[in-house]
């Protein structure tokens, strides 16, 4: 299958290349970049020569994608992504958008958080890419809105409890993230001297992933869920650790909580329920998520924890997983990469 990749040289685009280089069906035939257009992929990302597809290093980065494709993956920023994807969507080419352009179902909410939408005519065609709960719908779409990294981690932590009606519909989500979430061309505040030996909350109760989390938890619960979301930047390159808090309903036992999580995830390839608090290093470089719950019986609070790699399950890995489902391929194709440890 011929794959085109929009914005190949950012962190997420590079991860798509890394995963796709081991995919048995996907062949990258077009890669774009802005400032590096005209250079080869290997000149910008030398490590590609050490991938399972070293010939990808000879691909020339172009400003636009030209030719025919069986799949488009966009790692462009919001607004630009919808605009560049529009002609492919109109032509019926399957696409995965890693930007937030198609995530929010409510257009007014999108405008509030992201500004005007640049392809509103295609919003109704998009399916949200939380694979574990939207798998059936993903098989019948040609446009996937890939979740945000904080959002997918929080959703995987809380969906089983809310879907089973075990907790009240208001939650607190604390999410710690590595610096790569800010992108490859991040500002001064994300430099080594600013981040090292420091932990900094940012956009408290005002982060764009907040309404996305609320949207999907509301869908899972079948009623409106209020979310207080606090992200914190911590001094690591990659990874997300989410700790979420929800009030347990009367009569809910630890056994009921454990049953809900195992029933939801025991058949999943990329989500693992464990009996100890998860760690980000368990997920480094992969599409996996580890989930764990503790029931604070004295205070009737569920503490739900999840760890992912923000560039893996939270972006590029999730994009390939969704593409596999959408195209009717083996869901794990290209994603059998074990974690890098330590």
Look up residue 220 and give its two tokens. 């899972």
68: number of Cβ within 10 Å: 11
> Distance (Å, rounded) from C-alpha 69 to C-alpha 199?
43
> Distance (Å, rounded) from C-alpha 210 to C-alpha 154?
10
User: 234 phi and psi, to 5 degrees?
Assistant: -125, 160
> Distance (Å, rounded) from C-alpha 272 to C-alpha 265?
7
Asked if residue 68 lies in contact with residue 42, where contact means CB atoms within 8 angstroms, the answer is no
Dmax (CA) for the chain in angstroms is 63
Eight-class DSSP state of 104: -
Per-residue pLDDT at 277 exceeds 90: yes
Domain boundaries, given as residue ranges, for the chain: 2-147+313-326, 149-310
Return the higher-pLDDT residue of 261 and 183: 261
> Distance (Å, rounded) from C-alpha 253 to C-alpha 231?
29
> Distance (Å, rounded) from C-alpha 279 to C-alpha 236?
13
- Cα 135 to chain centroid, rounded: 15
Going by pLDDT thresholds of 50, 70 and 90, the confidence category of residue 190 is confident
Question: In this predicted structure, what is the pLDDT of residue 182?
Answer: 85
Average pLDDT over the chain reads 97
3-state secondary structure of 291: strand
Q: What CATH class has 149-310?
A: alpha beta
3-state secondary structure of 96: strand
pTM, entire model: 0.97
At the fourth CATH level, the homologous superfamily of domain 2-147+313-326 is: NAD(P)-binding Rossmann-like Domain (3.40.50.720)
Any idea which residues carry the catalytic annotation?
149
Per-residue pLDDT at 186 exceeds 80: no
Asked if residue 315 lies in contact with residue 12, where contact means CB atoms within 8 angstroms, the answer is yes
> Distance (Å, rounded) from C-alpha 258 to C-alpha 276?
13
Asked if residue 48 lies in contact with residue 57, where contact means CB atoms within 8 angstroms, the answer is yes
Going by pLDDT thresholds of 50, 70 and 90, the confidence category of residue 78 is very high
Look up residue 190 and give its two tokens. 């994300």
Q: Of 223, 219, 330, give the one whose Cα is nearest residue 269.
A: 330
> Distance (Å, rounded) from C-alpha 182 to C-alpha 238?
10
Strand (E) positions, 165-288?
Answer: 167-177, 200-201, 226-233, 240-248, 271-273
Q: What is the pLDDT of residues 39-65, one digit of tens each?
A: 999 999 999 999 999 999 999 999 999
């Amino acid at each position: 299958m011929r794959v085109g990749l929009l914005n190949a040289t950012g962190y997420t685009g590079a991860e798509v290349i890394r995963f796709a280089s081991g995919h048995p069906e996907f062949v990258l035939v077009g890669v774009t970049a802005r400032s590096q257009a005209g250079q080869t992929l290997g000149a910008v990302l030398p490590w590609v020569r050490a991938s399972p597809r070293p010939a990808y290093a000879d691909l020339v980065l172009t400003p636009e994608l030209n030719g025919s494709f069986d799949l488009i993956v966009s790692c462009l920023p919001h607004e630009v992504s919808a605009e560049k994807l529009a002609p492919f969507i109109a032509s019926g080419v399957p696409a995965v958008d890693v930007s937030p352009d198609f995530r929010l179902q409510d257009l007014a909410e999108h405008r509030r958080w992201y500004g005007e939408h640049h392809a509103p005519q295609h919003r109704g065609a998009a399916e949200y890419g939380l694979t574990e709960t939207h798998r059936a719908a993903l098989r019948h779409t040609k446009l996937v809105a890939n979740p945000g990294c904080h959002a997918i981690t929080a959703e995987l932590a809380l969906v089983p409890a809310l879907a089973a009606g075990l907790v009240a519909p208001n939650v607190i989500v604390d999410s710690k993230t590595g610096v790569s979430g800010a992108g490859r061309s991040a500002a001064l505040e994300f430099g080594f001297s600013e981040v090292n030996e420091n932990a900094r909350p940012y956009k408290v109760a005002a982060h764009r992933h907040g309404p996305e989390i609320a949207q999907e938890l509301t869908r899972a619960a079948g009623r409106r869920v209020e979310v207080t979301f606090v992200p914190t930047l911590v001094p690591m390159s990659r990874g997300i650790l989410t700790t979420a808090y929800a009030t347990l309903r009367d009569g809910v036992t630890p056994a009921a909580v454990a049953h809900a999580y195992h029933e939801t995830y025991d058949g999943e390839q990329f989500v693992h329920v464990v009996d100890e608090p998860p760690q980000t290093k368990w997920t480094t470089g992969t599409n996996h998520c580890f989930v764990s719950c503790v029931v604070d019986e004295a205070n009737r609070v569920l503490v739900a924890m999840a760890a992912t790699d923000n560039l893996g399950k939270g972006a590029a890995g999730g994009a390939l997983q969704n593409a596999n489902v959408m195209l009717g391929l083996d869901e794990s194709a290209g994603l059998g990469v074990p974690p890098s440890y330590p």
